[in-house]
């Protein structure tokens, strides 16, 4: 699926009904990133402090690469 060609109405519906997950390392779920696994292999990320701002959308493979980069220290500020 090409995330750039998603129907905005579909995205809105998916985000409205999304089951957002918060890291267990969060301090009360108010200062962290939240994730939701949507249909059709789309992953949404949002800031728990600003849940009404647009979520960042990734394909499953993009999300896997993102997580891998974090786990391997590739996304740290130099």
Tens-place pLDDT, residues 3-13: 788 999 999 99
Q: Name the residue with higher pLDDT: 15 or 22.
A: 15
pLDDT recorded at residue 44: 97
Q: Counting beta carbons within 10 angstroms of the beta carbon of residue 49, is it exposed (0 to 12), middle (13 to 18) or buried (19 or more)?
A: exposed
DSSP per-residue string spanning 7-20: -HHHHHHHHHT---
Pairing of strands 33-37, 42-47: antiparallel
Tens-place pLDDT, residues 22-63: 876 656 656 788 999 999 999 999 998 888 899 999 999 999
End-to-end Cα, the chain, rounded Å: 33
Q: Could you identify the residue written with the tokens 């740290």?
A: 76
């Amino acid at each position: 699926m090409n995330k750039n060609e998603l129907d905005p109405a579909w995205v809105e519906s998916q985000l409205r009904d999304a089951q957002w997950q918060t890291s267990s390392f969060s301090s009360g779920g108010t200062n962290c990133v939240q994730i939701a696994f949507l249909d059709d292999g789309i992953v949404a990320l949002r800031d728990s402090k600003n849940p009404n701002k647009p979520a960042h959308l990734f394909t499953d493979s993009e999300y896997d690469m993102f997580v891998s980069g974090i786990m391997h220290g590739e996304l740290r500020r130099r």
